[in-house]
């Protein structure tokens, strides 16, 4: 199976919270990332979490990490139409010398 798995689609109403989930298999993963890709653009780093953390909050974004279950989630509060994009989960071993492994991406659709 895939090393990093995500569901492919998520549809939410504007103003609601979005939760995008990701599971990974490598227990030695040290850093877990969320990237955002808008249509026709490259990937933009949203946030990352170190593996010894359970939670990280940055404005409307909350990242939760369950290391035991190898489960990562990204919660977007008060989702806006501008949040519509593909969100990629990625993991790496850190230290600056490893290449992140990406999931296939979750397409978030925000409707009025």
Partner 1 sequence: DAMVIQNPRYQVTQFGKPVTLSCSQTLNHNVMYWYQQKSSQAPKLLFHYYDKDFNNEADTPDNFQSRRPNTSFCFLDIRSPGLGDAAMYLCATSSTAGSTDTQYFGPGTRLTVL
Return residues touching partner 1 (CB under 8 A).
4, 8, 31, 33, 35, 40-45, 48, 88, 92-100, 102-105, 107
What HEC string does the chain produce?
Answer: CCCEEECCEEEEECCCCEEEEEEECCCCCCEEEEEEECCCCCEEEEEEEECCCCEEEECCEEEEEECCCCEEEEEECCCCHHHCEEEEEEEECCCCCCCCEECCCEEEEEEC
Nearer to partner 1, 18 or 102 (CB): 102
> Residue 95 Cβ, how far from partner 1 at the closest point, in Å?
7
> Residue 99 Cβ, how far from partner 1 at the closest point, in Å?
7
> Residue 64 Cβ, how far from partner 1 at the closest point, in Å?
19
Map tokens 């991406």 to a residue. Answer: 105
Nearer to partner 1, 1 or 112 (CB): 1
Nearer to partner 1, 79 or 102 (CB): 102
Nearer to partner 1, 96 or 112 (CB): 96
> Residue 38 Cβ, how far from partner 1 at the closest point, in Å?
10
Q: Whole-angstrom Cα distance, residue 100 to residue 88?
A: 11
């Amino acid at each position: 199976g895939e090393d990093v798995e995500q569901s492919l689609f998520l549809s939410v109403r504007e103003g609601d919270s979005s939760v995008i989930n990701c599971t990974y298999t490598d227990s030695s993963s040290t850093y877990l990332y969320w990237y955002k890709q808008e249509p026709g653009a490259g990937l933009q780093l949203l946030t990352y979490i170190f593996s010894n953390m359970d939670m990280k909050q940055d404005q409307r974004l909350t990242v939760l990490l369950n290391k035991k279950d190898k489960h990562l989630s990204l919660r977007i509060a008060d989702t806006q139409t501008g949040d519509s994009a593909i969100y990629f989960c990625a993991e790496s071993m850190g230290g600056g010398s490893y290449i992140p492994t990406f999931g296939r991406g979750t397409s978030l659709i925000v409707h009025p």
